[in-house]
Structure 1
């Protein structure tokens, strides 16, 4: 079965489930729980459960307990956020919704197909999503506020590790520390001119009356916004690269910018709306593709750096900081970070989590060695050259403080955060009216929310 066919069946099932839920909800809707002044409807739970089934999961009525538990948590956090004057801007809600819809459109094969599957316009669907997304973002901010500033000392890490059952300590597979030095081809002004000319031609068509959204859908090379007619939603200055911000915040609504260059290529944009410190724009992007001559120059450049590093005329960390074009690693001496461990920012990466091309490059290396420069394409589609450095390779082992301090520190920190959240929720539950429908009283996920009659929390509805 083709991927598109699978997507069609999935989205059709979501749509039918949603429609069936909506029709039934008009008849059977009831209150599943009350949290303070807010209610959770049975229809909300049924809708999420229908989506759970539509994703290919097996029927499991207990999952409704989990859904309700998540809803209770969200309501409690959102209520406290309102008390503490923690709010979410319209721009944050728009950005979150737009991000979700971009993903859904990509999965569906375009905006029109998604609207067909949903049986509603994306504008209508966005408005339906808005209250839920707004509440969810408020709850997230409240939770972040509760745990902000929490850290663990080395002594706390040691005590946490010593409290663990030695028989249940995790076993880590091979881990490596890897660096890379990347050089992307730099085009001359003359080499770039063909791409600028293409952007200028498209801008001219818009200026002469062509529909901006149609031009963007047909020709823009920004995969994230092209399906939406180039619409980027509301953003602050920090939401764009500096060249884009400088243009976007200088224009008035309805104005068309000249063609300008950023690290992504040549753009032109139109401002759709201004709202305080936020601006809603749409743009067309023409990416700059490397020429054969620019690739040859990049290869010569990286070969020269490689020879200096291998001959110990220049250490790898200095070379990466000075010359690498990978902005994510150059200020870390070229070293890759474990993206699943951002709090401790460890350079230890499980070998099976490496990009396949990086793993192949270091597979035969010994610690301290370098792979030869080779052409590659990064995850954004840019072509360049890189060589890799294997700093260390740690064999499989059971967790210990000496080798795994960073990972154990992260676990200790998460344990401390969880305990802080548990204390907070316990305190709020004691002073908040919570009424849960009797049909959910056997749910293991909800035991902590159910209290004896006479407590502030009421457990019968």
Structure 2
């Protein structure tokens, strides 16, 4: 969701998210009369002699599971989680390869640098440290894990400068062609500004589903009765977007997916969607606007820098992906499903 980018700055390439599973069961022998103690964890991948474990996977999955399940029906739950795990595994392998390569080149990130990055994030988002930690808790992650993520992003940025950036050149002709194809004559297109409220099942009690539905119905009724959607989202919604008053930002049609694509285009501005059951609970949307003023024949000189940055970032991502793939080709990688 868009608002999460404030806490997790965009990476130079999409850090894919999941680990798959290999079973390793350790059970120490015990004397008669002693309770048997079993230490459970599973190796899911080995990368150049370093391992990724099930517990590491589960920590990463916990950070995205609610978001994944909030976008699909209950019947699609298992498929969605399987796909998320596969993506997470690929991303964790790629991150480990990048870290290993950085170590070979003697690139390190100190604690002070991570402290400075967190200070900038707090300042840019006008947060306190306590508010940051509460937001991370809502995202099912910890400050320690967040620091690891920032360390990985700083390493990637340095490796980008050393290994990739010099390969990326955006000629003027390409900028001009993009302007002709995407800016000239385009005044408006569909752009959906969306608010969201979601209510997840609390625990595994038999009535958890019914209680989530009751809370969702009550909140939707308040909105329909004239209540302020943003204020109600801040106080009632269980989703990470609650902190922003349920504001997901603006999406173009091709950016909508799953339940959003099914319901959002059918709404008129100001209209509330029906209550939608997902694999994680219940949610509903409000459409603020379905039109976006996009580059109303913006002169080329004014659009040039914006286009160049867009094309540069796309090319940078492509080159970084190729570079990481080359690391994969040279690495010993064993995935145990």
Which has the higher Rg, Structure 1 or Structure 2?
A: 1
Q: What TM-score do the two structures reach when normalised by structure 1? A: 0.32
